Amino acid sequence: MILRSYQPADCAQLAALFYGTVHSVNARDYTPAELDAWTGSSVDLDAWNRSFLEHYTVVAEENGIIVGFGDMDATGYLDRLFVHKDAQGRGIGSAICDALERAVSSEMITTHASITAKPFFLRRGYLLVEEQQVRRGKERLTNFVMQKKNPAR
């Protein structure tokens, strides 16, 4: 596996990976209606591309195939972290997270973790700040505000 910087040509593949991961991996913790609300009917690729370019964004590849990605803004907000459904449990998420944490100068790292991702972040030393309900269309999705002191600082 290699980690590299995001390129605008990656955007459609990252959106597809996001959709596939949410609808498979997160299906054990969310209803089909919640999954549909989370992913929406389509991703605004222009908005995602702008966001990826504004953030520090890392892409993980194996044999030229994108298997994961993550992005963090300058304040230390870890926005997205997704690993392909067929590449779970191989350290890809940890490698991406390590790279993101090293890249920002903020003292604290904050994320809004899904039910599915909460144990991953707890193992990484993140502390639960609060459970919250986020409205997406007609659905309310549970996630968790989590934080930790930036180990790179």
- The predicted-structure confidence for 33-92, as pLDDT tens digits, reads as follows 999 999 987 789 999 999 999 999 999 999 999 999 999 999 999 999 999 999 999 999
Give the C-alpha separation, 82 to 132, whole Å: 20
Give the pLDDT score at 23.
95
Whether the per-residue pLDDT at 93 is higher than 90: the answer is yes
Give the pLDDT score at 41.
78
Question: pTM of the entire structure?
Answer: 0.94
Give the C-alpha separation, 51 to 94, whole Å: 22
Give the pLDDT score at 42.
79
- The residue written with tokens 């919250």 in the block is 132
Domains present along the chain, CATH in parentheses: 2-106 (3.40.630.30)
Q: Which of 37, 38, 49 is nearest to 9 (CA)?
A: 49
Report CA 1 to chain centroid distance, whole Å: 18
Give the pLDDT score at 89.
94
